[in-house]
A and B are shown apart, each in its own frame.
Chain A
Amino acid sequence: MIRLNKVSKTYRTDKVETLAVKEVDLHVKRGEFVAMMGPSGCGKSTLLNLIGLLDRPGQGSIEVEGIPITRYRDRQVAKLRNSTFGFIFQSFHLIPDLRVIDNVELPLLYRSMPAGERRRLAREALEKVGLGARMDHFPNQLSGGQQQRVAIARAIVGQPQVLLADEPTGNLDSKMGAEVMDILLKLNAEGTTVVMVTHDEHEARRTSRIVRVFDGQLVA
């Protein structure tokens, strides 16, 4: 599904050069649930951003469905992100001014789709995460767990093949974290490939594969 070949990524500031990811080879198969673990600053999130095409590698190549995307232009990458990936962030990143339903609809705005169809799919996604009754609320009217479920609904509304979750339970208490984890497992069971960054060993053990990262390299 997604293949990283000898991928490296270096961040440069005026004074410092940081090698965040070093010659990583990784293959995420269709239908897998991959947990990425490692200490803070080891490059997990960078790796996730590279997989999700939010960032471009300094060296190496990335293939999605066997197609190298290294030379893709901004417009092509945006289209691929829209059709293939769904993102879940630790801080939810919901747009505070928009109602829940409008937040969930957001990925569909960048597809040619009638407004009615967008609304129907957003409603279905919200019902899937158990928030069908909160469509007209604003994010700040919801609990952290509910906000993350809205974020999941937003990530799945476009029926992406891959869900990328960066510490999705990091800002939630254990009960809410477990609820979110259950939803992700359910989505994976329905066929969605999931790649998740986590610090939680217990959560990681519930996935199908654990990838450990240390100093920008895969260690297991």
Chain B
Amino acid sequence: MLRNYLVTAWKVFMRRKLFTTINLLCIVLTLVVLMVVTSLLETAFRPSGVEGRSERFLQIVMMRMDSPDGSSVSTTPLGYKLIDKFLKPMPGVERVAAATLPSGAAVYQGERVSEMQMRRVDADYWKILDFRLLAGRLPTAADDAAGRMIAILNAATAKRLFPGAPAAAVGQHIDINGQNFEVAGVVEDAMHVNAFADVWAPISTFASSDYRNQLTGMFTTLILAESSADLPRIRRQVEAIAREVVHEDPKKWKTTRFWADSKLDLFARLTVGNDDTIDSGAGKLLAMIVAAMLVFMLLPALNLVNLNTGRIMDRRVEIGVRKAFGATSAQLAIQLVVENVLLCLAGGLIALAATAGLLAWLEHIQLIDYMRYDLNLAVFGWGMLIATVFGLLSGVLPAWKMSRLDPVHALKGAL
């Protein structure tokens, strides 16, 4: 029976080539968009590359402070004192890292000035993230303690400043915002949210040590758990720690809150705006994304329903003949749906190839700096699942309608 379905499907597709092409184009365009989005989400939120351990780390990017009467709210990055005094001593975690958010820095080389994104980070940062070292070495706790003026460049920056192999940059000196740094190492380019920067230096290289006394500032923190099972406990610990924090000006800011979030939670919190509760809104965000994807699929699916109805209507005599010779409505509906799903799966495979090409092109033109797009097996699986859902969405209704045709009318070519 399946072989017959396949043969019939192939013949039907070949009978109306223009129709089939339009159907395929509709499917391919929709699926390419969905698969690119899926790939981006996959790259952003799944443990991969430099954030390969993200399934067991949490991050705190912002803290929220409320005035005593609740009329004023301030949202700001963390200060180093808060990380050093409250979070680093936290028991039951593998390590806690502090890093500034990326900020613009001017790099001087003779007459040339380059604008770059710089982070100052501590030694734990390099142990939580899996940067691939291309040349030289990574900073250590000893460098932090000694305040050594060393810098780490990513590969693109090293190549731009010191053309040649990454090793050519090691040992060179650069002037960043008036401070002189020796390049200690070169790491592979990375786009991930916690890793994004062109150049890194130890925190202790700040020109002033004021940062050590500030509860609010420009820092984020990464907390690495020993196991992903510890994350809920760590979240609760962080929530409790936040309650203990007393602002330097308690009359102005009475309560302080911050949350340890996974990457998805952080994205959801920033998107949905849930900064006053431990619930980041990730569930709501995922539901919104799924709903948006379904709506996005529904519109072309409706168009395909229309096209499919037209195509199946052309086959009403065939449907009448099959019914006359014993096909049930259910058998016909299954046959028509199988044909549509096959068409969508074919579209899925074409879309997959097109998506791979598009992602390679996006990576090549560096639409987003250092972004790497992977079309992995999970995306392939999602793509084919999406294609199947799309086939079902657009095939069931016309198949059901046409399978219920009265055989006498169908044989006359009428509806």
Q: Does A33 contact B (CB under 8 A)?
A: no
Contacts of B202 in A (CB 8 A): none
Q: Does B209 contact A (CB under 8 A)?
A: no
Q: 1/0 contact trace for A67-100 toward B, CB 8 Å?
A: 0000000110011011100110100010111100
Segment from B5-13, B121-129, B341-349 that makes contact with A: B5-13
Segment from B148-156, B268-276, B327-335 that makes contact with A: B327-335
Assess whether A49 is in contact with B1, with CB atoms less than 8 Å apart: no
Q: Report the minimum CB–CB distance from A10 to chain B (whole Å).
A: 14
> Contacting A107 at CB < 8 Å: which of B1, B325, B330?
B325
Q: Does A106 contact B (CB under 8 A)?
A: yes
- Contacts known (A74-B329, A97-B15, A109-B1); A87 close to B324, Cβ less than 8 A: yes
Segment from B99-107, B313-321, B372-380 that makes contact with A: B313-321
Contacts of B323 in A (CB 8 A): 54, 78, 81
Q: Considering only CB atoms, which chain A residue lies closest to B320 in the complex?
A: A93
Interface residues of B in 1-56 (CB under 8 A from A): 1, 3-4, 7-8, 11-12, 14-15
CA–CA, A134 and B324, complex, Å = 24
Assess whether B4 is in contact with A109, with CB atoms less than 8 Å apart: yes
Assess whether A102 is in contact with B7, with CB atoms less than 8 Å apart: yes
Please indicate which of the listed interface residues B8, B329, B411 has the most CB atoms of chain A within 10 Å of its own CB.
B411
Q: Does B79 contact A (CB under 8 A)?
A: no
Contacts of A109 in B (CB 8 A): 1, 4, 327
Assess whether B325 is in contact with A106, with CB atoms less than 8 Å apart: yes
Contacts of B407 in A (CB 8 A): 54-55
Assess whether A75 is in contact with B328, with CB atoms less than 8 Å apart: yes
Q: Does B246 contact A (CB under 8 A)?
A: no
Q: Does B381 contact A (CB under 8 A)?
A: no
Assess whether A81 is in contact with B3, with CB atoms less than 8 Å apart: no
Q: Interface range on chain B: under 10, 10 to 19, 20 to 34, or 35 or more?
A: 20 to 34
Q: Report the minimum CB–CB distance from A23 to chain B (whole Å).
A: 20
Q: Considering only CB atoms, which chain A residue lies closest to B11 in the complex?
A: A97
Assess whether B317 is in contact with A79, with CB atoms less than 8 Å apart: no
Assess whether B8 is in contact with A49, with CB atoms less than 8 Å apart: no
Assess whether A75 is in contact with B411, with CB atoms less than 8 Å apart: no
Assess whether A74 is in contact with B324, with CB atoms less than 8 Å apart: no
- Contacts known (A54-B324, A87-B324, A106-B322); A93 close to B411, Cβ less than 8 A: yes
Assess whether B326 is in contact with A78, with CB atoms less than 8 Å apart: yes
Contacts of B317 in A (CB 8 A): 93
CA–CA, A57 and B1, complex, Å = 32
Assess whether B326 is in contact with A110, with CB atoms less than 8 Å apart: yes
Q: Does B408 contact A (CB under 8 A)?
A: yes
Q: Interface range on chain A: under 10, 10 to 19, 20 to 34, or 35 or more?
A: 20 to 34
CA–CA, A37 and B27, complex, Å = 52
CA–CA, A78 and B323, complex, Å = 7
Assess whether B325 is in contact with A81, with CB atoms less than 8 Å apart: yes
Q: Does A219 contact B (CB under 8 A)?
A: no
Contacts of A95 in B (CB 8 A): 318, 321
Q: Does A22 contact B (CB under 8 A)?
A: no
Contacts of B318 in A (CB 8 A): 95
Q: Does A123 contact B (CB under 8 A)?
A: no
Assess whether B411 is in contact with A98, with CB atoms less than 8 Å apart: no
> Contacting A82 at CB < 8 Å: which of B15, B321, B325, B408?
B325
CA–CA, A111 and B406, complex, Å = 21
Q: Report the minimum CB–CB distance from A197 to chain B (whole Å).
A: 14
Assess whether A49 is in contact with B408, with CB atoms less than 8 Å apart: yes
CA–CA, A22 and B327, complex, Å = 29
- Contacts known (A75-B330, A110-B331); A98 close to B325, Cβ less than 8 A: no
Assess whether B7 is in contact with A74, with CB atoms less than 8 Å apart: no
> Contacting A78 at CB < 8 Å: which of B327, B406, B411?
B327
Contacts of A75 in B (CB 8 A): 328, 330
Assess whether B325 is in contact with A115, with CB atoms less than 8 Å apart: no
CA–CA, A143 and B92, complex, Å = 86
Beyond known contacts A81-B325, A98-B7: 18 more, CB 8 A cutoff: A54-B323, A55-B408, A74-B328, A78-B326, A81-B324, A82-B325, A83-B326, A86-B325, A93-B317, A93-B411, A95-B318, A98-B11, A102-B7, A106-B321, A106-B322, A106-B325, A107-B326, A109-B1
For the complex of A and B, the 6 pairs showing the least CB-CB separation, nearest first, are A82-B326, A97-B11, A107-B325, A110-B326, A78-B328, A87-B324
| B residues with CB within 8 A of A | 1, 3-4, 7-8, 11-12, 14-15, 317-318, 320-331, 406-408, 411
| A residues with CB within 8 A of B | 49, 52, 54-55, 74-75, 78-79, 81-83, 86-87, 89, 93, 95-98, 102, 106-107, 109-111, 115, 154, 158
Sample 26 A-B pairs with CB under 8 A, ordered by A number. A49-B408, A52-B324, A55-B406, A55-B407, A55-B408, A74-B328, A78-B323, A81-B323, A82-B325, A87-B325, A95-B318, A97-B8, A97-B11, A97-B12, A98-B7, A102-B4, A106-B321, A107-B325, A107-B326, A109-B1, A109-B4, A110-B322, A110-B326, A110-B328, A154-B325, A158-B325
